[in-house]
Amino acid sequence: MSLLEDPEIGVHTAAWTAFDAFVKSVPKDELEPLVVPLRRSIESTGAPGTTVPGFNLPKGVSPTVPIIIAGLTTGSNEQREQAAYAIGDLVQRTDESAIKPFVVPFTGPLIRVATQATTYPPQVKTAILSALTSMLERIPAFVKPFFPQLQRTFVKSASDPASSAVRGKAAQALGVLMRNQPRVDPVVTELIVGVKGSEEGIATSLVGALAEVVSSGSENLGEKAREACVDVVVEAFRDSHSGEWILVGLWFFCAHVGGRTLLRSDWEAGGISV
pLDDT in tens, 235-270: 666 665 555 555 555 555 555 544 444 444 444 444
Q: Which domain, by its residues, includes 216?
A: 182-274
Would you give the distance in Å from CA 37 to the centre of its chain? 23
User: CATH no. for residue 129?
Assistant: 1.25.10
Which of 76-80, 146-150, 230-234 is least confident? 230-234
The pLDDT, as a whole number, for residue 244 is 54
Within-domain flag for 156: yes
Work out the pLDDT band at 230, boundaries 50, 70, 90. Answer: confident
Query: 151 and 187: one domain?
Result: no
Which of 117-121, 203-207, 253-257 is least confident? 253-257
| Cα 166 to Cα 49: distance, rounded to the nearest angstrom | 25
| Cα 248 to Cα 236: distance, rounded to the nearest angstrom | 9
Residue 112 has pLDDT above 50, yes or no: yes
Number of domains comprising the chain: 2
Residue 10 has pLDDT above 60, yes or no: yes
| Cα 88 to Cα 195: distance, rounded to the nearest angstrom | 30
